Amino acid sequence: MTRSEFKELLDRGFVFLDGATGTNLQNAGMPTGVCPEQWILENREIMVQLQKDFVDAGTQILYAPTFTANRLKLGDYGLEDRLRQMNIDLVAISKEAAAGRALVAGDMTMTGRQLYPMGTMMFEELVDIYKEQAEALVAGGCDLFVIETMMSLQETRAAVLAIREICDLPIIASLTFEADGRTLFGTNPEAAMITLQSLGADVVGMNCSTGPDGMIENIEKMYSVANVPVLAKPNAGLPQIDKDGRTFYPTSPEEFAAEGRKLIEAGARVLGGCCGATPEHIRKLVEMAGTMEPKPVHTEKKRLLSSERSFVEITLDGMLQIIGERINPTGKKKLQAELREGSLDLVRDFARMQEEDGAEILDVNMGTNGIDEKEMMIKAVYEVTQVSDCPLCIDSSFPEVIEEALRIYPGRALINSISWETEKFERLIPIAKKYGAMFVFLPVSDEGIPATQEEKHAIIHAALEECRKRGIDKEDMIVDGLVATVGADPEAALHCTDTFAHCKNDLGLATVCGLSNISFGLPERSFVNMAFLVMAIKSGLTLAIANPSQELLMNAAAATDMLLAREGSDIKYITRAQKYKEAHANDPKPGSAQAAQAGGGASAGKGEGSGQGNSQTVNPVYKAVMNGEKTKIIKLCETELSLGTKPDDIISLYLIPAINDVGDLFDKQKYFLPQLIASAGTMEKAIAHLEPMIEKKEGSGPVETVVIATVEGDVHDIGKNLVALMLRNYGYRVIDLGKDVPAETIIRSALEENASVVGLSALMTTTMMRMKDVVEEAAAKGYKGKIIIGGAAVTSSFAEEIGADGYSRDAAECVQLVKKLLA
C-alpha cells in the first residue's frame, strides 16, 4: 500500500486495529518462557483463527505476530540466524487470516538494549537492527509498518529512519506512557507527536500501560499538536488476579467501547485494543464508533520544535523567544581550549545556565580549528540533551556536520542555517526534509549578500516558492534578517525591521536575527542592542539569537512584549522583575562608597539541597552528582580529600544527600530517567573511588544483600538495571541475576546469598504472574526475607494480591522501600 492510499483510507473515517496477541495466545495455551514467534509458527492455526476473529469483528489492520522478531530478542532464544524466514512466515500467517479483508502491518518494538549515552548501543547499530527486520517484513509482503509499545523516543526514531531508508510504506508509531503522562525516558505526548510526525510517521499514538480512561488526557495532548491521525490502543483495563490465581483484565467489551467514545472525543481516529482486548472488545468498539464522527486531522501547521522531554511552539504574535548563543567557541578562548582537549564541561555548563536564564532554544556550534567538528558536534548533542530540555539549533557551515547531528538528535531540531546559495540549498533542503527539521533561511545568494532590500526580499520569495514545490511548508522556514552593523550602514536597523515586517505581515513567515552585529565597533554596545531589539520586536521579530544572561536585553524584551499586550507577557515581566530585584537586593546603591569599592564578580550563589556543609555555596561534589558530571567527579573528590574531608564524610555529607535530592526531583517530575541515570552513574564512580580508602569500623554490621531479577519469560531489564545501580550506590550488596530468570533460580540464589530482599521486575502484563510463582517458591523453600516487585504494568494492589511485601514504581522509590522494610 502506498502512503497516499493509506492517507485516503484514513481520510474516510475511523480505522480499526486488532486487539491483544500475547494474552489471547496464553489463554489458548501458549506457555510462558517460550519464544512467542517460534510457538506461533508451530501452532499457526491458533494464530490464524484469532486473527480471523479480529477481522470478523471489524479489524482493518492486523498486526503480524513479529513483535519481538528482531536480532537481539530472537538471540535470547538462539534463533537470530532464522530472523528473515521467521518474519516472512509470520507475515504469511496474518496474510492468510486477512484473506484480502484487512491490511497486514509488520510489527516492530524495542530491542531491550539501552542506547548510548545511558547504555552501550550506538544509534547506527540500532538502525541496522531495525533495517534487518524491516527488510524481512517487506520481503514477506507486509502492507505497512507499526512500531509499538515503545518506551524510548530515540529508539522509535531509529525504527522510523530504518524503515524510511529501505522503503516508503506507511508507518504507525505508538509509544507507551507511564501514569505520570510521560514515557519511561521522560517524553511527553506532545514531544513524541512533534518529533515522529516530522520524521515521516503517518500515524502517531499510544498503546498498552493503561485502560482507555487513562489515555484520554494524553490523546488530547497529542491531538493538540498533530497533523497526522492519532492512535489509541489501550488495554482492557489494568490486570487483576482472580480467586484461582489467574490474571484477567476487568474492562468488559461494553465498558471498553463506552470508554473508547471518550478517546474519540479526545481526538483518536485509529483505534484498537492491547493487552486483554478480545475480538469481542473490538466488535463493540467498532459498533460504538459507527454512531460517531472522528475529529478532523489538523491541516494548519504550527511552528513546533521538540527535545526528547519538551517542546516549544513559535508563534508570529507571541512573545519574543530566545535562542541561546553561548555554545559557540567563536571568541571564547577557554571554550576553544576545552574542546581541543576533548572536554565538554563548559558546553554542559552553558546549556544549563542558558536554560535557567530563559532561553527556549539552544544553538550548538562546534566550529573551531584544531578539532574534528563533526565528531565534537555529535558529542555535544549527546551531552546537551542530557542536561537540558531545550530543543536544539544545529549550527554549522558544513552540511555533513548538520546531518550527523540531526540523525542522532532525539527531537525536532532547527538548522542554522540554509542559504540561497545553490550548493548549500541543494544539499541541505533534502536533509531538512528527511529529518523533519525546521531551518533558518539566510537570504544570501551565489552573488553574495544582497545589495538592496528589493533583492533581499526577492530571494526570500524565490526560496519560499521553491520550498513549496518540494513539499516544505512556510512554517518550517525562519528568515534571518541579515543584521549589518549600523556603524557602517546608518540604515542597517531600518532595513532589518522592514524585512521583519514584510515577512510577518505579507508572507506569514517567522523571523530571527543575531542582535550583536548591529552594534559592532560602537561604544557601550548593550544600549544599542537593547534599542534595536525593541524596534525589532515591534516590527515583528519572532526569535533572537542572544545571550540570555544579559539582564538588560532580556528585561527589555519582556517589557516590550508586555507593552504590546502579548498573551502571558505581564506575568513573565513581573517574574523577571522580581528575580532581578532579589538578585540585586544587596547591591550597593549607585554613587555610594560601597559601590565604588565593589568588584565585578558575581555574588556567591545560595546553597541548594542538603549537601552544602557549612558553606553558603553548594559543595562541588554534591553539585556534580546533581548534574551527572561523571568526568569531573573523581577530581572533585580528590580536591575535597586534600582539604581534609574524610572519604566516608564525602559520602555521607555530599554524595548521599545529592542522590536523595535527585530522587526527590525525579519524584516531582523535574528530573527524568536520563538525569537519574547520569546522577546515579556519577555517584557510583565516586563511591568506587572512595570505598578503598574507608577503614572498616569495628562492630559495623554486615552489608545487607538484595537479589534482583526480571522474571521468567520477560527479557526487559532497563528498569531492573537502574534499581541495581541505585541500591549499590546506597551501600547494599546487589546480586543481579539478569532477565528471564525462573522462580526456583531466584529463590535458590536468595537462600545461598542470605539475601534480605528479593526484587522482581516485569514489564509485560503477560509475564506478571511469574512474580506470584516466586512468592510461592519462597514459601515452599522457607525463604524468610522480603519480596518486592515493580514494572510498567505492576501496581501496589497487585503486590498485595500475590503476597509480595512491597511495590515501588521506580528506582528512587525502591531505595526508600528497601530502607523501610529493613529498618
Instruction: Please tell me the distance from the alpha carbon of residue 232 to that of residue 177, in angstroms, as a whole number.
Output: 12
Strand 786-790 versus strand 757-761 pairing type = parallel
- For the CA atoms of the chain, what is the radius of gyration? 29
Q: Is the peptide bond before 417 cis (omega within 30 degrees of 0)?
A: yes
Contact 109, 68 (CB under 8 A): yes
Beta-carbon contacts of 585 under 8 Å, excluding residues fewer than 6 positions away, are: none
pLDDT of residue 729: 77
pLDDT of residue 715: 67
Candidates 784, 787, 673, 691; CA nearest to 730 is 691
Beta-carbon contacts of 529 under 8 Å, excluding residues fewer than 6 positions away, are: 515, 516, 518, 519, 553
Q: Where in the chain are the domains?
A: 3-289, 303-583, 620-693, 705-822
Candidates 279, 260, 238; CA nearest to 21 is 279
Candidates 169, 171, 170, 204; CA nearest to 189 is 204
pLDDT of residue 794: 83
Helix axes 422-435, 453-469, angle to 10 degrees: 40
pLDDT of residue 597: 46
Residue 265 burial (C-beta neighbours within 10 Å; 0-12, 13-18, 19+): middle
The dihedrals phi and psi of 68, each to the nearest 5 degrees, come to -115, 25
pLDDT of residue 589: 67
- Domain 303-583: give its CATH architecture: Alpha-Beta Barrel (3.20)
DSSP 601: S
Superfamily of domain 620-693: Methionine synthase domain (1.10.1240.10)
What DSSP letter does each residue of 275-330 carry, written as one string?
TT--HHHHHHHHHHHTT--PPPPP-SPPEEEE-SS-EEEE-TTS--EEEEEEE--T
Q: Which residue has the cell 520544535?
A: 305
- Domains 3-289 and 303-583 equal at CATH topology level: yes
In the annotated binding site, the residues are 208, 274-275
Residue 458 burial (C-beta neighbours within 10 Å; 0-12, 13-18, 19+): middle
Instruction: Please tell me the distance from the alpha carbon of residue 182 to that of residue 186, in angstroms, as a whole number.
Output: 5
Q: Which residue has the cell 514494572?
A: 791
CATH class, domain 3-289, is alpha beta
- CB atoms near residue 685 (< 10 Å): 18
SS3 510: strand
In the annotated binding site for Zn(2+), the residues are 208, 274-275
How high is the mean pLDDT in each 10-residue block of the chain (823 residues)?
96 97 92 91 97 98 97 94 98 98 97 89 98 98 97 97 98 94 94 98 95 95 98 92 80 96 98 96 98 96 97 97 97 95 95 96 96 97 96 97 98 98 97 98 97 97 97 97 94 97 98 93 93 97 96 95 95 92 79 47 36 59 92 93 91 87 84 84 88 64 86 77 81 90 94 95 79 93 94 83 90 88 89
- State the greatest distance between any 2 C-alpha atoms of the chain, in Å, as a whole number: 92
Candidates 766, 714, 779, 793; CA nearest to 758 is 779
Beta-carbon contacts of 552 under 8 Å, excluding residues fewer than 6 positions away, are: 526, 530
SS3 789: strand
CATH class, domain 705-822, is alpha beta
